[in-house]
């Protein structure tokens, strides 16, 4: 019992880290929780005496479980209507000062998660575990039954995709000003003001769920995106509440307990890129 209690305590100390690994791999909170729970079950079936680095062991186990889950759901995504977007992490605006905002700004943003969704499961695993969580390529390779050089190449391909995407501004105050300007323009039906805050190549993605008949593919370009916003937003944008979406300024329609919609923004170069 003493050993089991010790293991449970060590697992709880690592739970937040493991949840972050699984969420970065899977993009949904519920699946991440399932992956972490499965890791706990596998730990219970293992010999703790043979585990030298428990945190590293658990990280690779969660990575392996997440990889299997990604592969299993790939076919379901092929028939998903419109855009499939990661589940947003919604928090109230930071009120604990600049130190708290800095921590939030370093979290896994929606922009990175969207890029990760475009990768193969093996590319995503290699990049997330090595580049985000500093897992050695030898360990990453063992999860996939590949060589370390192969894992390194997968991470390199993923890294190029990440670097080619718009790189979000890290200034949270700047992000908030841009989001406020967007909401004010949408609230006032001001087409020209919207164009001022939208990047010329802005991408607008909507995830309305797997059964929606209103789903459509992403819109690209400031003019069509501004038209889409003004076609719907003035009727309900006054209900928007400022929130943090994956650590960055966004908007919530409804309440935290009963959300209707969430808007996340990727702000690059002082304009909304997505």
List pLDDT tens digits, range 122-178: 999 999 999 999 999 999 999 999 999 999 999 999 999 999 998 899 898 999 999
Name the band, by pLDDT with cuts 50, 70 and 90, for residue 25: very high
- The stretch 224-241 carries a mean pLDDT of 88
Report CA dihedral (71, 72, 73, 79) to the nearest 10 degrees: 100
Q: What is the pLDDT of residue 238?
A: 84
- The stretch 205-223 carries a mean pLDDT of 82
Say whether pLDDT at 59 is over 90. Answer: yes
Name the band, by pLDDT with cuts 50, 70 and 90, for residue 81: low
Name the band, by pLDDT with cuts 50, 70 and 90, for residue 63: very high
Name the band, by pLDDT with cuts 50, 70 and 90, for residue 54: confident
Say whether pLDDT at 76 is over 80. Answer: no
């Amino acid at each position: 019992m003493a050993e089991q209690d010790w293991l449970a305590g060590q697992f709880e100390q690592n739970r937040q880290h493991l949840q972050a690994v699984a969420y970065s791999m899977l993009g949904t909170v519920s699946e991440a929780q399932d992956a972490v729970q499965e890791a706990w079950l596998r730990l219970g079936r293992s010999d703790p005496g043979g585990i030298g680095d428990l945190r590293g062991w658990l990280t690779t186990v969660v990575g392996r479980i997440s990889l299997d889950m990604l592969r299993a759901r790939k076919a379901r995504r092929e028939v998903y209507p419109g855009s499939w977007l990661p589940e947003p992490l919604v928090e109230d605006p930071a009120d604990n000062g600049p130190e708290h905002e800095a921590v939030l700004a370093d979290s896994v943003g929606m922009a990175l998660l969207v890029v990760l969704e475009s990768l193969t499961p093996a590319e995503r695993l290699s990049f997330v575990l090595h580049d985000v969580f500093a897992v050695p390529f030898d360990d990453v390779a063992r999860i996939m039954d590949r060589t370390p050089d192969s894992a390194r190449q997968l991470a390199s391909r993923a890294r190029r995709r990440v670097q080619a995407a718009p790189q979000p501004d890290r200034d949270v105050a700047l992000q908030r000003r841009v989001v406020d300007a967007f909401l004010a323009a949408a609230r006032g039906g001001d087409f020209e003001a919207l164009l001022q805050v939208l990047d010329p190549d802005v991408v607008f993605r909507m995830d309305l769920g797997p059964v929606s008949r209103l789903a459509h593919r992403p819109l690209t370009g400031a003019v069509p995106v501004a038209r889409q916003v003004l076609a719907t937003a003035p009727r309900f944008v006054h209900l928007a509440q400022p929130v943090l979406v994956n650590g960055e300024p966004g908007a919530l329609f409804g309440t935290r307990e009963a959300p209707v919609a969430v808007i996340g923004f990727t702000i690059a170069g002082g304009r909304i890129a997505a």
